[in-house]
């Protein structure tokens, strides 16, 4: 049998990447722009972090920094942890994940099912759960023998993984990408995309989508309920000269974006995807006619059923948003 011809992969990790692009014709129908969504939920672990996790671990294995007896220790709010858990299980590596109270129950169950050991911090450090998680990682590395920290926050194998993400987007659109909207946290995705654009002399405008209350772009830290984007400490990976515009999105706007994506495009996506949608909608009135906009939709929404997609949770935390879950449904298929 010709495995290449029949599209048979040697293992699950080989299916990471080459995710589909979708023409989102119903997201902003009142504006003359072309919107394309990069569907990272189609990765086997359900998010863009599959790319990051696998690239970092394989890079470390190739460098001799990881052997079969190594224990991987990492801080994650969810998706990176799942990506690592999947890769570690494939390689037979032990994994310890440091999480905080914002992690959702669904993600926690997935991690335990993959066999990851969970360490949860309960108090913030200098106003940030991220700082507390990283301090816990530092302590674990001292006591866990033959341990390795992927350090997604500073490891250059992180942005290197997303050079290909941008390549896929550019090739799908014949290099005609006027705007790229990407959520930021470690900033690995946006910097990997930026490196590709720079190397290939593409004139794409890069829009960084950050959470209100995140410190990545100089804002004061603030309370955030939606995990997966934004950060409580500056990114080592970011080069701000690559960024053309920054849009800060509140938790409420993030939720609204998720529900608009669901009701208008039938896409159940995670929190950062809602942030990207809201950022696009803020800028779209000022974009040139017929502009091609690529938005990266980082993960699937099942992990947010108890929060973003829960009427009870939304009404409890955002009582002013009673109409959030009553958005206009799809009608274009019957037009």
Looking at the annotation, which residues are catalytic?
49, 272
Cα–Cα distance between 210 and 222 in angstroms, integer?
A: 12
The C-alpha angle 28, 34, 35, rounded to 5 degrees, equals 65
Half-sphere exposure at residue 149, Cβ-oriented, CA atoms within 13 angstroms: 20
Strand ordering across the sheet containing 94-99: 117-120, 94-99, 71-75, 147-148
150's enclosing H/E stretch is none
* Count of Cβ atoms closer than 10 Å to residue 202 Cβ: 15
Report the alpha-carbon distance of residue 224 to residue 185 in Å, rounded: 13
46 Ramachandran zone, left/alpha/beta (phi>0; psi -120 to 50): left
Beta strands in 159-252 (DSSP E): 179-183, 205-211, 245-249
The β-bridge partners of 97 are 74, 118
């Amino acid at each position: 049998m010709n495995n290449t011809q029949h599209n048979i992969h040697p293992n699950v990790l080989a299916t990471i990447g080459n995710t589909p692009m979708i023409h989102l014709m119903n997201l902003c129908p009142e504006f003359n722009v072309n919107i394309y969504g990069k569907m990272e939920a189609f990765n086997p672990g359900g998010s863009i972090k599959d790319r990051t996790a696998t690239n970092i671990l394989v890079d470390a294995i190739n460098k001799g920094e990881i052997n079969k007896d190594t224990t991987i220790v990492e801080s994650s709010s969810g998706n990176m942890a799942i990506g690592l858990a999947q890769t570690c299980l494939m390689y037979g590596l032990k994994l310890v994940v440091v999480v905080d109270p914002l992690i959702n129950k669904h993600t926690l169950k997935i991690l335990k099912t993959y066999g990851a050991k969970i360490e949860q911090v309960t108090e913030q450090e200098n106003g940030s759960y991220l700082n507390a998680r990283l301090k816990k990682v530092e302590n674990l590395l001292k006591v866990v023998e033959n341990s390795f920290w992927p350090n997604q926050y500073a490891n250059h194998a992180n942005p290197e993984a997303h050079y290909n993400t941008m390549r896929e987007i550019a090739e799908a659109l014949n290099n005609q990408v006027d705007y790229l909207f990407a959520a930021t946290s470690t900033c690995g995705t946006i910097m990997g995309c930026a490196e590709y654009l720079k190397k290939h002399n593409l004139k794409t405008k890069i829009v960084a989508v950050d959470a209100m209350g995140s410190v990545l772009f100089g804002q004061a830290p603030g309370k955030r309920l939606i995990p997966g984007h934004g950060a409580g400490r500056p990114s080592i990976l970011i080069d701000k000269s690559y960024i053309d515009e920054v849009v800060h999105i509140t938790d409420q706007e993030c939720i609204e974006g998720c529900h608009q994506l669901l009701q208008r495009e039938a896409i159940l996506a995670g929190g950062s995807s809602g942030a990207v949608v809201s950022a696009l909608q803020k800028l779209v009135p000022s974009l040139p006619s017929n502009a091609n906009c690529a938005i990266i939709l980082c993960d699937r929404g099942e992990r947010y059923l108890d929060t973003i997609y829960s009427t009870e949770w939304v009404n409890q935390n955002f009582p002013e948003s009673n109409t959030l879950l009553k958005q206009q449904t799809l009608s274009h298929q019957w037009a």
